[in-house]
Amino acid sequence: MPTSPVFVGSSEPNELTRVNEEMYKQNLELAIRNKTLNVLHIVSTITINATGAIEVSQKIADAIVTELKFASVFIALSDTSGKELRFTAVAQAAGSNDVYEPLLHPSDNRTIALTDRGNLMTDAILDRERKISGNFLDVATPLVTQEAADKIENATHTEMIITYPLFLGPKTLGALTLGLAKKIDDLSRGEKETLDELIGAVSIAINRAQLIEDIKSANDKLTTANNQLELMDKLKDEFVSVASHELRTPMTAIKSYTWMVLNGKAGSLEPKATEYLNRVYISTERLIHLINEMLDVSRIESGRVTIKKTPLEMAKLLLDVQKELRGRATECSISLTVEEVGSIPVVQADSERIHQVLENLVGNSLKFTPKGGSITMGVRKTDGFLETHVTDTGRGIGAEQIPLLFKKFGRLEHSLVAMPENSTGLGLFICKQYVELHGGTIRVQSEPDKGSTFTFTLPISQP
């Protein structure tokens, strides 16, 4: 006698009686193979269109029942922690869906612990092999009673169950249980092979669906986090803006009234009073400058700085800055000169920002150059860039300080070493950001007691 086929609906035996037993077996296996290929194709389509693991498991269960004519199919999936199993899909050839309710929605939201043996699915998963049973309760325990399990058996005409563990590498995905309408000793070799292949495809489909779910959930979390960050960023920006307004208003009053007194609007002053008030005025200016720089940093860090490029004549900008700071240079007995500029192209740049960069560099040189020293600005064309430099004969910068220069507050994280006098430590950080936003670079060469040269580049042709 040939092995009776598990897959109901295969070739009619009355036509096969004339061929020998071997042919019969081969034909039978080909038929199974054919159906399996068909269901594999369906599973691969489900895999490609996967959205959620539960939805995918239901589609697979439906496809197996429809295509392979099993009495029933049950799929249980492991939760993300890999600790428990829940039924996610049930399909049957006949019968009402009501009987599955205790499986899909068990009372008290009970689950099957993956570590507990005694359930056919956990046994199959722990032993990593398929398991066969004649009692449906074996897969349903401890979710339902024997009575409820019998009801399900009867409703689906399930006589026997074969449970396969679903794995992908070391990852436990769950278990798939096939319900057979009749009792058998075992599956044929061909049936085993093709079902193994099917189980492999199902595992991939479910894994993919879970990954997509994970990505989607991660994505949702990121979107939420991002929205919150954007909101906080906006609030921070508003706060900084309003706080700086609130700070600037009294600073303006201090600055303006001090100016009034210093400029004789309240009568003449004793020399000492003038000297002290000058210090009040200078300190106020420093504070205003600090507020302005902190605002700049806040804007840079929130990505709100936009570079408005217009044609910029660098040579003219050097002369403007010279004109602007000549007074301060003269007061300090420092010569401020601009080198002869050859023929240089106009660059596309944000003139206000570049003005600020140049003003900052010359301002720094003024701070650190002793009386009688000199500051020279120059610009030249190099390969694809305009290179602007500010050279002074100041006290220079020690090699150990150079890496810190362009950092915020000019210090390493957690360091509280103060900046040299009159420095906020933000100016060069801002300069670097502005130059880099233009696609340029900034660098420094310095020797203690000899002087420093700060150089920044701006690309000539814009991408």
Nearest approach, Cβ of 269 to another protein (angstroms)? Answer: 17
Find where tokens 């401890």 sit: 142
Tokens of 456: 């920044």
Q: How far is the CB of 434 from another protein (least distance, A)?
A: 14
d(CA 401, CA 411): 9
Contact flag: residue 300 with another protein (CB under 8 A): no
Instruction: Give the torsion sign (CA, 129, 130, 135, 136).
Output: positive
For residue 279, give every residue at least 6 positions away whose Cβ sits within 8 Å of its Cβ, in sequence order, or none. none
Nearer to another protein, 249 or 343 (CB): 249
Q: What CA–CA distance (Å, rounded) separates 175 from 187? A: 18
Task: Please report whether residue 242 would count as binding another protein according to CB under 8 A.
Answer: yes
Contact indicator for 7, 162 with CB cutoff of 8 Å = no
Residue 204 CB, shortest distance to another protein, in Å, is 51
Is residue 303 involved in binding another protein (CB under 8 A)? Answer: no
Q: Scanning residues 252 to 291, which ones bind another protein (CB under 8 A)?
A: 252-253, 255-257, 259-260, 263, 288, 291
Query: Can residue 438 be called a binding residue for another protein (CB under 8 A)?
Result: no
Q: How open is the CA angle 330-409-326, to the nearest 5 degrees?
A: 10
The piece of 107-115, 249-257, 397-405, 407-415 that touches another protein (CB under 8 A) is 249-257
Beta strands at 385-392 and 451-459: parallel, antiparallel or unpaired: antiparallel
Minimal distance in Å, beta carbon 42 to another protein? Answer: 56
Residue 327, exposed/middle/buried by CB under 10 A (0-12, 13-18, 19+)? exposed
CB of 447 to another protein, least distance (A): 35
**Nearest distance, CB of residue 60 and another protein, angstroms:** 54
Point out which residues pair with 142 in neighbouring strands: none
| Residue 251 near another protein by CB under 8 A | yes
**Residue 258 CB coordination number (10 Å):** 19
Nearer to another protein (CB atom), residue 397 or residue 426: 426
The answer to whether 241 contacts another protein (rule: CB under 8 A) is: yes
CA distance 237 to 290: 17
| Among the listed residues 110, 208, 248, 328, the single contact to another protein using CB under 8 A | 248
Q: How many helices (H) and strands (E) does the chain have?
A: 12, 13
Residue 306 is a binding residue for another protein (CB under 8 A): yes
Helix (H, G, I), strand (E, B) or coil at 229: helix
Distance CA 136, CA 102 (A): 13
Using CB under 8 A as the binding rule, whether residue 310 contacts another protein is answered as: no
Q: Should residue 450 be labelled a site residue for another protein when binding is judged by CB under 8 A?
A: no
> CB of residue 253 vs another protein: minimum separation in angstroms?
4
Closer by beta carbon to another protein, 192 or else 304: 304
The CA R_g of the chain, rounded to the nearest whole Å, is 40
Considering only 66, 244, 335, 423, the residue that binds another protein (CB under 8 A) is: 244
Which lies closer to another protein via its Cβ, residue 259 or residue 276? Answer: 259
Contact mark string toward another protein, 221..240, x via CB under 8 A? ----------------x---
Alpha-carbon span 290 to 10, nearest angstrom: 86
Does residue 296 contact residue 289 with C-beta atoms inside 8 Å? no
Q: Which is nearer to another protein, 293 or 313 (CB)?
A: 293
Peptide bond into 142 cis (omega under 30): yes
Minimum distance of another protein from residue 299's CB (angstroms): 8
Closest of 208, 202, 192, 167 to residue 91, by C-alpha: 202
Q: How far is the CB of 329 from another protein (least distance, A)?
A: 19
Task: Give yes or no for residue 299 binding another protein (CB under 8 A).
Answer: yes
The residues of the shown chain that bind another protein, judged by CB under 8 A, are: 237, 241-242, 244-245, 248-249, 251-253, 255-257, 259-260, 263, 288, 291-292, 295, 299, 304, 306
